[in-house]
Amino acid sequence: MKVVIAEKPSVARDIAEVLNITAKKKGYIEGRGCAVTWAFGHLVTLQEPGEYDPALKRWSLDSLPFVPDEFKLTLIKNNGVAEQFQVIKTLCEQAEEIVCATDAGREGELIFRYILALCHCEDKPIRRLWLNSLTPEAIQAAFKDLKDGHDYDALYAAARCRSESDWIVGLNATRYYTVRHGQIGGSDRVLWSIGRVQTPVLAMIVERDDTILQFRPQPFWELTTRYREVLFKYSGQRFERPEKAQALLDKIIGQPFGITGSVGKENKEQPPQLFDLTTLQREVNKQHGLSAAATLAATQNLYEAKLVTYPRTDSRYLSRDLKPRVPKIMEQLKAMRAEQIAPLNLAKLPFTARIIDDTKVTDHHAIIPTGVRPRNLGADEQLVYDAITTQFIAAFYPVCIKHVTTVDGVSQQVKFQAKGTRIVEPGWTILFPKKKVSQDAADEQVLPEFSKGETGPHEPSLREGKTKPPGHFTENSLLGAMEAAGKFVEDDTLREALKERGIGTPATRAAIIETLLRRDYIQREKKQLRCTDMGRTLIALIQDPLLKSPEMTGEWEEKLKKIERSQLDPDTFMAGISDYIRTLIEHSSARRLDPARWGSCPLCGKEIIKGKRAYGCSGWEEGCPFVLEPACKGVTLLPRQIQTLLQLRILPQPVRIENEPRILILSTQGLVMDLGLPSADRQKNVVKEDRPVKPPVRKNE
């Protein structure tokens, strides 16, 4: 008997239907010498420390770091999992061959191999069904081209390394910071959740928000003039002080303005590339405000409805063998998009290198429609389907041709310049009538014909403005930063090169954002993602820069991809992770409070001294203004709390909020957390950092 294991019941039903397997049993479908069964996504996970040793159920610094010699598996504790696993186990034990039909990617491979391992059936012959879409034609073609399952051993090795490294870093760092800092400033223990990927992402958001918090607007002045209804800008730099700008304004008021020349050039804007998952999520978030998680869920639903190809891809290209399929898809789409497809010659589609490139297709090609006609789509699914379909059609449209004109003018030897853009051929842009232009609005003005040497009156003016901080992250910009390992890159080519070092994968980035939201480390404010006080506090507490480094996380992800390609030994990678967590714990544990000193000044770094009423910087004679008053409306920080906050480089500032005593904790980079301290008589309950404690309970989980 052949056993086929799918990732979800719906996919199992699609496969069974294509294979004409119809006898429904409890937990599987049987017929023609084959049984098709399913998981519920992840069925098997790594054991918790307490399952290795009951003593590890208690959280203590003495037990850290904990790295198992050999990782063990267990079932996920969800309803129906044990029963379904028993069905799969029984079928696998009877099977002559097992076919892996889980999602064709790293996590799908992990789901299948973990199930196989817990069933103790790893020695059975295995085959791999690799699907790019769930249409009947794609399923039939994939079954005719089943691969040896062991061809994907490297993919499984990378998936296992990702799973085990996340377990090692997350578990040890979470326990360490929770035990050591879980009660800073209060009596209720806080769970400080640390992750190999989530913590660097949180650090990026905190750094951006702190930059905005610290930003001090600087005034500037811009000199402009209006001639023949066209806005001209002063050719030099804008002015940081008004005196020089005013002097030039006074010089040209009432004086004629003359045209000294103009230059025109033709610009070609290439059609957009096809979507990978990240660019799809970014575009839908930018245009419609849909979250990355909602976009992934909608795309997954479209995939399972056979309407689009596999969503969890990091490629924006198609492989050469898909060229014959594209015109057929276009023909099918004519029923819905006849007007948009009509200008295309389907017999001679322009398959440029921006569309077809085998070297840039790894596990899966770009997301494209399958041509199947949708019916009764939900609102999110309709938005995402329209975006994918429009992008697919636009990729084959002509370039957009623009004529950009630059006109130079002068008044009393003060030089000005104006730019204007005229669309010669709209090309692909007609498919995006609401698409916002990326250029400055002044550069988009329509210019009349100017003649060199012409003169006339003009209307000069001076505008005062202020510099602006960078914007808060949106899901669109955060996904872009994650893809480029924390670098903010707009250029498609450079961003493509940085993908190898991105934070997380296209399949996991949305889940990382949702995890940070669920744990109250960040929050949504309209389209913006902002860190919360809890998120700031966590990043302030983490002293190890690598634990919150996007670059380090990007290097780990790059190594995982090398493991996928059999270019790096998995054991070498895991040894590095184990060494890292041991060094982290040892280094952090060595940073004990020094009882002989209060700490360093967060402003200048000099020693803090204690006065009669407050703590202050020993460099006060040199002008350092730092003073810390420990008391606020009857609430007083204990000396040990003062030492903890100052020696950990966290700065407290007493304030009043609605007449209640509060302590605002600040990092050296900005506001961190409103702790809302309890009454003074409860402060004595601060737990010593070495005391073993029970694991805290996660809220909302």
Vertex 226 angle, CA 223 and 229, to 5°: 155
pLDDT of 648: 65
As given in the structure block, the two tokens for residue 294 are 């909602």
Out of 156, 177, 303, 310, which one is annotated catalytic?
310
Confidence label for 162 from pLDDT (cuts 50, 70 and 90): very high
pLDDT of 686: 28
User: Is the distance from CB of 327 to CB of 346 less than 8 angstroms?
Assistant: yes
Residues of the chain with CATH 1.10.290.10: 277-394
Give the Cα separation of 314 and 81 in Å (integer): 31
- Best CA proximity match to 501, nearest among 515, 489, 512, 516: 489
pLDDT of 573: 96
Instruction: Give the sign of the dihedral formed by CA 442, CA 448, CA 452, CA 455.
Output: negative
Give the Cα separation of 287 and 415 in Å (integer): 39
Vertex 517 angle, CA 79 and 582, to 5°: 85
Residues of the chain with CATH 1.10.460.10: 182-214+471-577+586-590
Domain 2-145: give its CATH code.
Answer: 3.40.50.140
Is the predicted pLDDT of residue 504 greater than 50, yes or no? yes
Confidence label for 650 from pLDDT (cuts 50, 70 and 90): low
Is 310 designated active site? Answer: yes
Residues contacting residue 674 through CB under 8 Å, at least 6 positions apart: 533, 657, 662, 663, 664
Is the predicted pLDDT of residue 369 greater than 60, yes or no? yes
pLDDT of 23: 95
Domain 277-394: give its CATH code.
Answer: 1.10.290.10
User: Is the distance from CB of 271 to CB of 350 less than 8 angstroms?
Assistant: no
Is the predicted pLDDT of residue 412 greater than 60, yes or no? yes
pLDDT of 125: 97
Is the predicted pLDDT of residue 688 greater than 90, yes or no? no
> CB neighbours (10 Å) of residue 540?
25
Find the mean pLDDT for residues 42-54: 95
Q: Name the helix (H) or strand (E) containing 509.
A: helix 509-518
Is the backbone peptide bond immediately before 54 cis, with ω within 30 degrees of 0?
A: no
pLDDT of 315: 93
Domain 219-270+400-466: give its CATH code.
Answer: 2.70.20.10
Give the Cα separation of 130 and 108 in Å (integer): 11
Residues contacting residue 408 through CB under 8 Å, at least 6 positions apart: 235, 259, 260, 261, 262, 415, 416, 417
CATH (one of 3.30.1360.120, 3.20.20.70, 3.80.10.10, 1.10.460.10) for 182-214+471-577+586-590: 1.10.460.10
Find the mean pLDDT for residues 297-305: 96
Quote the pTM value: 0.83
Distances (CA, A) of 496 to 144, 201, 279, 285: 33, 20, 11, 20
pLDDT, tens digit, 9 for 90 and up, residues 131-149: 988 999 999 999 999 999 9
Q: Is 625 helix (H, G, I), strand (E, B) or coil?
A: coil
Strands 528-531 and 608-610: unpaired
> CB neighbours (10 Å) of residue 614?
11
Confidence label for 216 from pLDDT (cuts 50, 70 and 90): confident
Is the predicted pLDDT of residue 668 greater than 60, yes or no? no
- Best CA proximity match to 459, nearest among 231, 249, 226: 226
Helical spans, DSSP H, in 594-698: 639-647
Find the mean pLDDT for residues 106-127: 96
- SS3 sequence of 112-132: HHHHHHHCCCCCCCEEECCCC
Residues of the chain with CATH 3.40.50.140: 2-145
pLDDT, tens digit, 9 for 90 and up, residues 428-465: 999 998 654 444 456 678 899 999 999 999 999 999 99
Q: Is 340 helix (H, G, I), strand (E, B) or coil?
A: helix
Cα 577 to the chain's mean position, in Å?
22
Cα 466 to the chain's mean position, in Å?
31
Is the predicted pLDDT of residue 283 greater than 80, yes or no? yes
